[in-house]
Structure 1
């Protein structure tokens, strides 16, 4: 019995240390980007054959061996039935060989990059894809989603103010039409699935909706409430392209082991009214004015966030929220309440660049709310993306046959 207990204890400790190693490693991974090669294009929903580049930094700066793995998924992000040979010419898993060290930075790091497709990996099918990065022990360090689509259907998207009297000032309604003259759809309720994304954030989506009208070669989705989204508010922003000098919305800079940038505080106002402020819908751009290659010459700074509130939110945590960490809520993004000056505060290590962010609350049930702090307004300029999946009876996988986008227009 003692031998068995000793064995189980060693096994548990081994698993625990392995898990802790993955968590620590993941914390040292920063600035993950999966982007097209076009400047200021943040979409990972692209036509089949488009080149996407995955890049990230490892703050350990020790040139680890990382690999990427690509998996084909169903419309609801479960592993599909396809074998890798059925959706990839080449290999679904490869080592990342584009590795460079940072140059002339206070925070040392190693920069990794890989483009897909490449000579080893060519994707041949449309659909949802999960891109995973693995360490030496084949442990998943992080994942990113992307979608490859065909142009087999045309999607028309219209975004309007909510028609519901209760939410007319706070929500937006998405209507859309799927035109499919090239596809024979016999049973739309079984063969077609659609997803509506707000600002390409997979945490804000609507699924499981059926067409409201059927016409020859056309499906119409015109709901009064079922396709409503909270308008939210425009994102806040800052620019840290200058590591030693103040830039946009940076009020103070201190040099410690690295540079610390203090952002202008945000004041919580429950009576806030809408004010237009152009944004990039929560995204970020790595850039520096103090080097030629932002991939390896942009430095890291500790960014200090402050949110003034007369009292803390009851039974809710407050977090910094944005694409800088794939809209994930974790301990690093949590703000702590300081009773001495009635404010929430957090410090997050971020690479130089232009960032959008907002503040989100999370309750005891894990519900994330981006409207508690900044409010929600029907005028907010959001982008909505409709993804249409088609799997005919007997089909092996969900094709993405069309994608459409729409924006709210205040002048309507």
Structure 2
């Protein structure tokens, strides 16, 4: 019942894929495809692809967590009018049986790990899926949500990225050109039978949804210099790694132990306004939990408080500045930065597990929409990875299948 009530409260705002941590005692939700932490959670139907889902519960008390799967439409609203037997192989509501207590850490936690698919549960239909992690010891309360896609390669997608856009030439934007070939699928009404989504670095807060193509043929669609497929180029993500609380590692200005609150505090180098582009290899917002030994990191890694600093001459009115990355899975308010008039900078302190992190800063308006922060800069040279998804629902069919997925990285 608690899970259903929570879902009903979230339905108006769940319009894009993202993982969510709901319980304040759950930290470090990680969803990794095929041991590649940079990949988006997109499984190929009928393949050996798998997701490794891990998280920490901040105690040494065992919780019986159960994973409940739910199919969704392309816009992440729940799919209706279908039976579990249509899309599920095996059983729903499977327990998480892989768990271990932390050892030699000041912050006590239990690490839980769940691999999907598994011998008890699999998917036999492409599309979008939401996985609820429910605590049976708390009346089935949902503590976290994972969203992923399952694709089948039935249509071919071609992607091209150019800095010669319909807004500017080699300045601050990148434009996506795209083609879709239907192959053997009979598409007679593409505006009704197809849905398309284009993303930049897996971000769904600025995705381009169902943009009308420039050209339509009986076997294909083409978007060429379409003004609605222009993205701000942005800048490279900031990065740091904190692998051992006893010494400074990449991207850190300092790391110290505070006797008063008995905790480690790490400070990445402050970020300031970028007037020109400087290439710095990043992972486009991804993160990897690890430590210096990289041995049993899931249960031997410490938690530290990370202090983020963004220099800005004045605060922004009617908007919040937030820290953002694929690891920011808690409520967005948790990542809001506060402005310090004396230091002329925004600050945020976030509890994080040892690891490698990418992040950038976003401006969140009062209506919930997000934008790049001007201090970050936007440069056409920025290396970005673009993803395209194509969904198809045939005449008389009840579900949207994900029939095409492609990604391409822009590099000069």
TM-score above 0.5: yes
Is residue 91 of structure 2 the alignment partner of residue 91 of structure 1?
Answer: yes
Shift of 1:223: 4.2
Residue pairs, 1:193-342, within 5 angstroms: 193-256=195-258, 257-268=262-273, 272-290=275-293, 292-326=295-329, 330-342=332-344
- Counterpart of 1:7? none
Decide whether aligned partners of structure 1 residues 169 and 25 sit closer, same or farther in structure 2, where only a CA change above 3 A counts. Answer: closer
Per the normalisation by structure 2, the TM-score is 0.89
Shift of 1:129: 0.8
Decide whether aligned partners of structure 1 residues 259 and 83 sit closer, same or farther in structure 2, where only a CA change above 3 A counts. Answer: same
Shift of 1:183: 1.2
**3-state SS in 2 of match to 1:274:** coil
Is residue 132 of structure 2 the alignment partner of residue 127 of structure 1?
Answer: no
Shift of 1:397: 0.6
- Counterpart of 1:374? 376
Checking the alignment, whether the CA contact within 8 Å between 2:38 and 2:286 is kept in structure 1 is: no
Checking the alignment, whether the CA contact within 8 Å between 1:77 and 1:128 is kept in structure 2 is: yes
Taking the aligned partners of 1:235 and 1:116, their CA distance within structure 2 comes to: 29
Taking the aligned partners of 1:78 and 1:192, their CA distance within structure 2 comes to: 17
Q: Which consecutive unaligned segments of at least 5 residues does structure 1 have?
A: 1-14
Q: Deviations over 1:18-74 (max 9, x none)?
A: x9xxx9961221111111133344321221142111111111332211111111111
Which shows bigger deviation, 311-320 or 392-401?
311-320
Which shows bigger deviation, 385-394 or 73-82?
73-82
Checking the alignment, whether the CA contact within 8 Å between 2:273 and 2:377 is kept in structure 1 is: no
Shift of 1:329: 5.7
Checking the alignment, whether the CA contact within 8 Å between 1:160 and 1:409 is kept in structure 2 is: no
Is residue 113 of structure 2 the alignment partner of residue 113 of structure 1?
Answer: yes
Decide whether aligned partners of structure 1 residues 79 and 167 sit closer, same or farther in structure 2, where only a CA change above 3 A counts. Answer: farther
Shift of 1:168: 5.3
**3-state SS in 2 of match to 1:244:** coil
- Counterpart of 2:353? 351
**Matching residue within 20, 36, 41 for 1:39:** 36
Q: How many residues align?
A: 388
Which shows bigger deviation, 398-407 or 349-358?
398-407
**3-state SS in 2 of match to 1:340:** coil
Q: Deviations over 1:204-237 (max 9, x none)?
A: 3111223322334322122430111111111001
Shift of 1:199: 0.9
Taking the aligned partners of 1:141 and 1:357, their CA distance within structure 2 comes to: 24
Q: Kindly name which structure, 1 or 2, has the bigger radius of gyration based on alpha carbons.
A: 1
Decide whether aligned partners of structure 1 residues 310 and 129 sit closer, same or farther in structure 2, where only a CA change above 3 A counts. Answer: same
- Counterpart of 2:193? 191
- Counterpart of 1:11? none
Checking the alignment, whether the CA contact within 8 Å between 1:321 and 1:329 is kept in structure 2 is: no
Checking the alignment, whether the CA contact within 8 Å between 1:291 and 1:297 is kept in structure 2 is: no
Checking the alignment, whether the CA contact within 8 Å between 2:237 and 2:358 is kept in structure 1 is: yes
C-alpha root-mean-square deviation of aligned residues, in Å? Answer: 2.2
Q: Deviations over 1:162-187 (max 9, x none)?
A: 42245752211111111222211121
Checking the alignment, whether the CA contact within 8 Å between 1:75 and 1:398 is kept in structure 2 is: yes
- Counterpart of 2:12? none
Checking the alignment, whether the CA contact within 8 Å between 1:103 and 1:297 is kept in structure 2 is: yes
Decide whether aligned partners of structure 1 residues 291 and 193 sit closer, same or farther in structure 2, where only a CA change above 3 A counts. Answer: closer
Taking the aligned partners of 1:291 and 1:190, their CA distance within structure 2 comes to: 50
Residue pairs, 1:55-204, within 5 angstroms: 55-80=54-79, 81-136=81-136, 137-166=139-168, 169-204=171-206
- Counterpart of 1:10? none
Shift of 1:124: 0.5
Decide whether aligned partners of structure 1 residues 146 and 99 sit closer, same or farther in structure 2, where only a CA change above 3 A counts. Answer: same
Shift of 1:97: 1.2
Taking the aligned partners of 1:239 and 1:322, their CA distance within structure 2 comes to: 14
Taking the aligned partners of 1:133 and 1:180, their CA distance within structure 2 comes to: 37
Shift of 1:302: 0.7
Taking the aligned partners of 1:220 and 1:361, their CA distance within structure 2 comes to: 33
Taking the aligned partners of 1:398 and 1:25, their CA distance within structure 2 comes to: 28
Q: Deviations over 1:338-396 (max 9, x none)?
A: 22222221111111111000111222232211232302122211111111111011012
Taking the aligned partners of 1:250 and 1:409, their CA distance within structure 2 comes to: 27
Taking the aligned partners of 1:229 and 1:145, their CA distance within structure 2 comes to: 24
